[in-house]
Structure 1
Amino acid sequence: MNLTALMFLALAMSTDAFAAAIAKGAAMRKPTLPQALRIGLLFGCIETVTPVIGWALGSLAADAIRQWDHWIAFFLLLGLGGRMIWLSFGEDDEEEGEQTGSPKLLVLVLTAVATSIDAMAVGVGLAFVDVSIVRAALSIGAATTIMVTIGVLLGQRLGAAVGRNAERIGGVVLVLVGTTILIEHLSA
């Protein structure tokens, strides 16, 4: 796999995480660059590990991963997006991490895992081609870190424009990302 193909692969693997980051940034109150970078690094680390897991599983679990990856991502994103929509109709709760500008770690990890399941399936495919899995995984992780950091910061700007609806819109975006993943896999 040449450098150009690897770059396109890395960008493709980071697009759903980017959309989720925009949603997360829109739900946050004034995320700082360090907060956005921490979220980007979390997503990037998870997105680095998942193709390696997929590659390691290789042909042993290829059918199981391909058969269920889109459903797992869909239900995780549906649940997380639904939760954001549900919370958007409630009263402001200053104890809730997302309301004070710092999303709860579990929600971030689940979102990162949900958006990286496809990278695990790609890792399975990479086991059968001539590519350095370390180089591929690091490229995917780096692209995801950059895209998520930018997404959180862009989401914050969008959040200021939409006011109280930011969390609701963010939840809808997560549901749409999950639905898109499901539709793409079912129609392939």
Structure 2
Amino acid sequence: MSPLSILLVGFAMSTDAFAAAVGKGAAMNKPRLPDALRAGLIFGVIEAITPIIGWLLGRAASQYVEAFDHWIAFVLLGALGIHMIVAGLKPEEAEGEDSTEKSRHGFWALAVTGFATSIDAMAIGVGLAFLDVHIGVVALVIGLCTMTMVTAGIMLGRVLGNLAGKRAEIVGGVILIIIGCTILYEHLTAVG
């Protein structure tokens, strides 16, 4: 994978976390930079760990699927991209009014949200296990992109609202589909 592809994967993986952060920022009472950085760090660390777990799972199975690994990466990236686009097009469910500010934005609430938005990064890790890529670099880029996007999303939440967050998720889905198609094209043209 080229450095640009790795950066695009990092960006794409962080868009769903960005969408969640914009929503959280819009719900928070005047979020401050330390609050946004804390949330960004929580999301970034979780998002950096999950592709490594996926990569380890994929490496364990790699000897059995080497002949069609590029198809696996293509299908996983395409499916995740489509899922992100569909999620971005769905209207957001309203949160209950009875929960308090602290419980909605505490460590465990942020960690659970971070894990929920990082499932796609684990699937990316599985797909990357079949490619010649250094997973540590990819995981670091994904984590840093997520930390940056979540921090910005929370700070911009009041201004942008949920609509921009959903659009970011759609863009991330399109990027994943393009990367999947590029991987498939590169492998199929290298065979001939």
Shorter-chain TM band: 0.5 to 0.7
Query: TM-score, normalising length from structure 2?
Result: 0.66
2:30 alignment partner AA: K
State the partner residue of 2:31: 31
Q: Within 2, Cα distance between the matches of 1:35 and 1:128?
A: 38
Among residues 87, 101, 116, which one is paired with 2:96 in the alignment?
A: 87
- How far off its partner does 1:22 sit? 0.1
- How far off its partner does 1:60 sit? 5.2
Q: How many residues align?
A: 150
User: In structure 2, do the counterparts of structure 1 residues 106 and 61 end up closer, same or farther at CA, with 3 Å as the change threshold?
Assistant: farther
Among residues 121, 131, 134, which one is paired with 2:133 in the alignment?
A: 131
2:46 alignment partner AA: I
SS in 1 for 2:154: helix
State the partner residue of 2:187: none
State the partner residue of 2:43: 43
Among residues 120, 138, 154, which one is paired with 1:152 in the alignment?
A: 154
Over the aligned positions, Cα root-mean-square deviation in angstroms equals 3.3
Aligned: 1:20 with 2:20 = yes
SS in 2 for 1:45: helix
| 1:30-179 to 2 correspondences below 5 Å | 30-58=30-58, 82=93, 85-88=94-97, 90=98, 96-97=101-102, 103-158=105-160
1:55 alignment partner AA: W
Structure 2: unaligned runs, 5 residues or longer:
63-71, 178-192
User: In structure 2, do the counterparts of structure 1 residues 124 and 156 end up closer, same or farther at CA, with 3 Å as the change threshold?
Assistant: same
1:56 alignment partner AA: L
User: In structure 2, do the counterparts of structure 1 residues 116 and 86 end up closer, same or farther at CA, with 3 Å as the change threshold?
Assistant: closer
CA displacement 1:11-33 (0-9 Å, x = unmatched):
01101100100000000001110
SS in 1 for 2:96: helix
Q: Within 1, Cα distance between the matches of 2:154 and 2:61?
A: 34
Contact 2:10 2:142 survives alignment (8 Å): yes
Query: TM-score, normalising length from structure 1?
Result: 0.67
Q: Within 1, Cα distance between the matches of 2:121 and 2:3?
A: 18
SS in 2 for 1:87: coil
User: In structure 2, do the counterparts of structure 1 residues 43 and 61 end up closer, same or farther at CA, with 3 Å as the change threshold?
Assistant: farther
- After TM superposition, the runs of 4+ consecutive aligned structure 1 residues lying more than 6 A away are none
Structure 1: unaligned runs, 5 residues or longer:
160-168
